[in-house]
């Protein structure tokens, strides 16, 4: 932590660079951030809400899905972009010394720009469906912090492995897609039998998604047990990922 703090100026330089590179020479710029989840939410609402008729715990299904996508999209995007960040910065890693962990961390912070756009869209949806804003919305930063901890842990694992095994760049999108359907993005946790919900909550995304729905809609399957499991799993992913990353980062410059 002390070494990361000493290089904090470099962290913000990398964050600014990632933001600029992500939207450089794009016609729509931040419009892509809004279009992708908006189109995705409508497709999911059509397939799972209209055709499959999955329940939404009394909420409008489109708003229900978009709450889940707001949490999941940040988690998935930050995890996938950060996991490939060392490969994209191979020249920097091989030529200059600095804490290598700064590279995936910079990506995590850069994706917050996308998250801010989605939060604005979520508020627009709330206004359209006349969902009142309450003090529960103040809990969103707390759930965001948990998402960042878990996504950082997963990204540290995959980014370290990807230096030696480039297969991760192909496997991770497939893994993320499976993970999404194993999370309550398009269906409520209440569909899971009560005796299996504690096991289901070992997936940290369950707490993020249900936490966002609780903050926006005022009701969800979130309870103290799910919240504590989410905190525990997020911290486990973070510390295990950081430990593994530090153990193998000395060989990055030679392998990459």
**Is this model's pTM higher than 0.85 or not?**
yes
Using pLDDT thresholds of 50, 70 and 90, give the confidence band for residue 137. Answer: very high
Using pLDDT thresholds of 50, 70 and 90, give the confidence band for residue 138. Answer: very high
Buried b (16+ CB within 10 A) or exposed e, 191-202: ebeeeebeebbe
Among 16, 32, 234, 20, residue whose Cα is nearest residue 109: 16
Place of tokens 């994209």: 88
Q: Which two tokens stand for residue 118?
A: 């989605």
Residue 27 has pLDDT above 90, yes or no: no
Identify the pLDDT of residue 200: 92
Identify the pLDDT of residue 163: 78
Q: Which two tokens stand for residue 107?
A: 């990506």
Place of tokens 């709450």: 67
The answer to whether 217 and 131 are in contact (CB under 8 A) is: yes
Identify the pLDDT of residue 205: 93
Is the dihedral angle over the CA atoms 118, 124, 129, 132 positive or is it negative? Answer: positive
pLDDT digits (tens, 9 = 90+) for 60-117: 999 999 999 999 999 998 888 888 887 777 777 777 777 888 888 888 888 888 899 8
pLDDT digits (tens, 9 = 90+) for 151-199: 999 989 888 888 777 777 778 888 888 999 999 999 999 898 888 988 9
Identify the pLDDT of residue 210: 93
**In the chain, which ranges are continuous DSSP H helix?**
2-6, 8-23, 31-44, 61-83, 85-88, 90-95, 102-110, 112-128, 140-164, 168-181, 197-200, 204-217, 224-248, 252-255
The answer to whether 214 and 142 are in contact (CB under 8 A) is: no
Which residues contact residue 89 at a Cβ distance below 8 angstroms, ignoring those fewer than 6 apart?
103
Q: Give the C-alpha separation, 79 to 85, whole Å.
A: 10
pLDDT digits (tens, 9 = 90+) for 197-244: 889 999 999 999 999 999 999 888 888 999 999 999 999 999 999 999
Identify the pLDDT of residue 180: 92
Residue 25 has pLDDT above 70, yes or no: no
């Amino acid at each position: 932590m002390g070494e990361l703090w000493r290089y904090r100026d470099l962290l913000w330089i990398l964050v600014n660079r990632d933001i600029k590179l992500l939207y450089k020479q794009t016609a729509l710029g931040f419009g892509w951030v809004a279009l992708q989840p908006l189109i995705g939410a409508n497709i999911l609402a059509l397939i799972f809400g209209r055709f499959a008729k999955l329940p939404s715990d009394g909420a409008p299904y489109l708003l229900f899905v978009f709450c889940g996508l707001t949490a999941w999209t940040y988690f998935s995007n930050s995890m996938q972009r950060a996991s490939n960040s060392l490969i994209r910065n191979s020249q920097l890693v091989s030529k200059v010394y600095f804490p290598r962990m700064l590279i995936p961390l910079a990506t995590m912070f850069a994706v917050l720009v996308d998250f801010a756009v989605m939060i604005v869209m979520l508020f627009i949806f709330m206004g359209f469906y006349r969902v009142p804003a309450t003090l529960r919305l103040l809990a969103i930063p707390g759930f965001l912090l948990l998402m960042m901890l878990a996504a950082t842990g997963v990204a540290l694992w995959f980014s370290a492995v990807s230096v030696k095994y480039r297969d991760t760049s192909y496997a991770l999108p497939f893994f993320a897609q499976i993970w999404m359907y194993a999370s309550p993005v398009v269906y409520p946790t209440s569909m899971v039998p009560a005796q299996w919900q504690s096991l289901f909550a070992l997936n940290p995304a369950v707490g993020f998604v249900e936490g966002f729905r609780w903050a926006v809609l005022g009701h969800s399957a979130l309870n103290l047990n799910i919240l504590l499991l989410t905190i525990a799993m997020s911290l486990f992913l973070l510390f295990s990922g950081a430990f593994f990353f530090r153990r193998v980062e000395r060989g990055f410059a030679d392998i990459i």
